Structure 1
Amino acid sequence: MAKKLFNSLFGRQLSYGSENEEPVNLQDAFSSNTTPQLEAYDQSSDQPPMQQQPPMQQLPPMQQQLNLGPQLQLKSQKIAPQTYGQMPSAPGGEDMNVAYKASNVIVRERIKKENPDDIALLDSVDKSDIIVVRGTYDHIHLVLEAIGIPFLAVNPGDLMRMSLRPDQTVYVNCPSSFPANAARKLEAFVKSGGQLITTDWALKHVLEVAFPKTVRHNGKNSGDEVVSIEIVAKDDEILKGFIDQEKDAAPVWWLECSSYPIEILDKKKVKVLVRSDDLKRKYGADPVIISFDHGEGVVYHMISHFYLQRSETRTSKQSLGTVAYAEAQNMTESSRLEVEGITKGCANLNYGVVQSASTSSEFVSRGVLKQKRKYASKLT
């Protein structure tokens, strides 16, 4: 078992799984154990096709990112499923959904203890308040689904036909490419007051286009590994979950294969919220999560993906059971029993898994809350 807890994703998984996509969940996506047919992606198209990685057995030890050129065509092939400790390889696997559902109980209680009104505000979120832009990779929609936050999923090209409101939050799943005019529309959205949250390859395909001379990909690609992280901006409410986890056990961050290290060009404008010495030493750039204000709005960007941040059992505490984690959060008896009921029968889950899920789900919940609170105050 060594130190690795589980391997929840292999290589770069696809952004399947929302109610607005086919198949309806990742469990179904991998049930046939075959890859879909790939088609060419014309960046001017409003409907980019899904992309799938080649079979695992053909990948080198340090998996290489796909070269998704305009002439790309691959035949349907069998995939050898990859698991670790019997944890499902599909990001929509039932154990992962259970981890997020349990984490949601924990996060909601934490938020309620701080301010009961915030739970009412979180529950008031409407589908139109959250826009998830489909990408090739990452699964932000699955985090939102698991923690019960409604959202609208759209394709990148759909942005040009939409009227974005400044009170909205837009998430961009890690894309292999992105229409330049859609990226520029997101710049105008942020400038008017919107909140934009992006992951990994959006650094190159969205942020470099929409916000030139601010940040960029430093030209290196990460390996598939977990690195230690340090919370720098302890005053940003969106990081509350990270800060509290840091007190409990040293937090870590998963770098998926070929993640893009972040180079900061405008050091006066861009804030490093979370950093990593491991990342700096290996790839020459230490930012893990950054943010910058633009006009009336804000941009958050992170290296790698939301769903599911992989964990390592770096401490004996993280190998304990899920109930131990719930107890460590000083939860009420009713909430602790709810977590116990949700995770019952999931032998693969433990303290470290639910801790990782809680960090991600709290980041999402507090990001949504921050934007809702900002505009709720303007209406009063």
Structure 2
Amino acid sequence: MANNYKMIAKTLYGFEAILAKELLDLGAVDIKQGNRMVSFVGDKGFMYKANLCLRTAIKILKPYESFKVNSEQELYDNIKKLPWEDFLDVNGSLAIDSAVHSEIFTHSQYVALKSKDAIVDRFREKFGKRPDVDLDFPDLRINIHIEKNNCNVSLDSSGDSLHKRGYRGATNIAPINEVFAAGLLLLSGWQGQCDFLDPMCGSGTIPIEAAMIACNIPPNLNRKEFAFEKWKDWDEDLFEKIEESTMKKVRDFHYKIRGFDKAPSAVMKAKENVKNANLSDFIEIEQQNFFQTQKENEDYLHMVFNPPYGERLEINVEEFYSKIGDTLKQNYHGTHAWFFTSNSEAIKSVGLRASRKIKLFNAGLEGRLLKYVIYQGSKKASKN
């Protein structure tokens, strides 16, 4: 326990509880949910594991220092006095991300610039030279968060957002974020317990995330790098051991995962992404217009999808969502269908009563994840 320290996993609104459960299942301790974040305690190996295995985390931050700031000068002075040479060589490179919710500081970019000045000035005074700024592949990525006059400085262990899994080479016109896709699946209760269908799969993100959940494959296995690999205390042997132990927990899957899309270009991209993720054995992508399909058998089907809602793809919303409702009702008995939409008019057009509505945000758009239980034959008493 002596080597344990507090960390913060950042996430999207509405995913805090499922991220907390993921952390608990991985073995984290002292888990506390916040707003779009969950704090937890673990050691260096657990930090590696969290980056590799968490499906609904965007970043894993290692808090470094906290202090009060009431002016630009106080921010500069407090940042400058920290021993940055413990983490970064003078010939290395850095990048700073910042977020501010404060009346004193109103521009996050200015806070990042002021913090960068403080760090490079410290190096210049101590060593006569300074590290470079590299926004894409820095040796050290620093996160500054100011809430009112509280400043929290953290080391970003992830680097690029963890939604960049590494399997998606090709996307369609409105791709869904991988973390958002995984969150929808986990909120829907998907664990690989039956056949699965995404009837409007686009570039294949939801079926890919569904297969990784079903087979218990670490979501970030295909990533090229994490920020912690450039840290001075990087332990490659430890990381490889953790990677090896997570791969031992991969399980087989005996049902079908399918994705439909009516656009040939989307089908081609989805197949390419499935191949990149090494999941071709588990996922079938087909060119199909969902409105002309029906359920293949009497077995229970789990459906999760992200239909267009008129923001980035032009559709007649009323007609389109009415067709979704009709197709489910007539052709997909014995299905639990979940979909997300940010169009409130669309929900009215479905013509079915949702048994659950969960408020979420996708790319800044507020919407609802809806659950529709399509009964086999007449409606039976059921616990949803």
Provide the TM-score with structure 2 as the length reference: 0.29
- Higher alpha-carbon Rg: 2
Q: Which has the higher contact order (CA 8 A, sep 6+)?
A: 1
TM-score if structure 1 supplies the norm length?
0.29
Greater share of helix residues, 1 or 2?
Answer: 1
Structure with a larger share of its residues in strand:
2
